[in-house]
Amino acid sequence: QKEIDDKLKTSYANLNAWQKTQVARHEERPKAKFFIDSLFTNFINLSGDRRFSEDEAVLAGFAKFEGKSVLVLGQEKGEDLDSRLKRNFGMMRPEGYRKCIRLMKLANKFNIPVITFVDTPGAYPGIGAEQRGQAEAIASSIECCMSLKVPIISFIIGEGGSGGAIALASANKVLMFENAIYSVISPEGCASILWRDPTKSLEAARAMKLTAKELLKSKIIDEIIKEPIGGAHRNKEDVILSTKAMLTKYLEEFKQYTREEIL
């Protein structure tokens, strides 16, 4: 076991950007639903955008954290094939963003902090989503995040892909897991656009600076959450403890600000 741990430590210490992308996509990696179930009590899942339909790719609802009310929004990829299809692999449609906007406005009205868990390859690019105003829904979601007078704290737990991620990560504090990624496009997408060759994903990942270290250096995120040796999927309990500590710390910090100062 000790040898395995040492090997893990050395191999995970020097991961390149493309390897980190693969860790961020690991199918055993803790997902939003796991964080919601483990961190919060009395979670009430709320559905629908009151315009078109319900989007299963995002879990949204009010819950209690340490006895205080919070609004939780989590992009959920699903655990097995059936749930992944149901959740559309975490790719939200316009109605998902509109549901989040509806709930964020409600949280703002009742002075309830907003917590988001970002984990998506990107917003869904299907024709139906485009017809129903995908770009407008994402833009409105960013605008809504920016106009809140309650703290909004965002965790990038796996993949933070494109506008689909920033729609829920335009936050007061953006916290990112050590092996998560956050970028304007997936490495494969970037490689196929720039070089017309998806096999150049490694070069693309390196050029895009999508790792937590690079993003902290560029001041795009506020803090990195350490992961257990070998990635978050190897010790989920540890991950929950560190997430809880971060969340408590930042919710405490925002208590001293007025609503105007938060804005």
**Predicted pLDDT at 241:** 95
Q: Is the pLDDT of residue 251 over 90?
A: yes
Q: Is the pLDDT of residue 10 over 90?
A: no
**Predicted pLDDT at 247:** 95
Tens digit of each residue's pLDDT (9 = 90 or more) over 213-241: 999 999 999 999 998 888 889 889 999 99
**Predicted pLDDT at 253:** 94
**3-class SS string, 59-86:** EEEEEEECCEEEEEEEECCCCCHHHHHH
**Predicted pLDDT at 239:** 94
**Predicted pLDDT at 117:** 96
Taking the C-alpha atoms of residue 68 and residue 45, their distance in angstroms, rounded to an integer, is: 17
Tens digit of each residue's pLDDT (9 = 90 or more) over 102-136: 999 999 999 999 999 999 999 999 999 999 999 99
Taking the C-alpha atoms of residue 4 and residue 46, their distance in angstroms, rounded to an integer, is: 44
Q: Is the pLDDT of residue 4 over 90?
A: no
Tens digit of each residue's pLDDT (9 = 90 or more) over 57-72: 999 999 999 999 999 9
Q: Is the dihedral of CA 10, 13, 17, 21 positive or negative?
A: positive
**Predicted pLDDT at 215:** 94
Whole-structure pTM value: 0.93
Strands 114-120 and 68-75: parallel
Q: Name the amino acid, one letter, at 243.
A: T
**Predicted pLDDT at 7:** 85
CA nearest to 31, candidates 245, 248, 232: 232
Tokens of 179: 């092996």
Q: Is the pLDDT of residue 12 over 90?
A: no
Instruction: Return the percentage of the chain with pLDDT > 70, whole number.
Output: 100
In the block, residue with structure tokens 């978050």? 232
CB atoms within 10 A of CB 232: 28
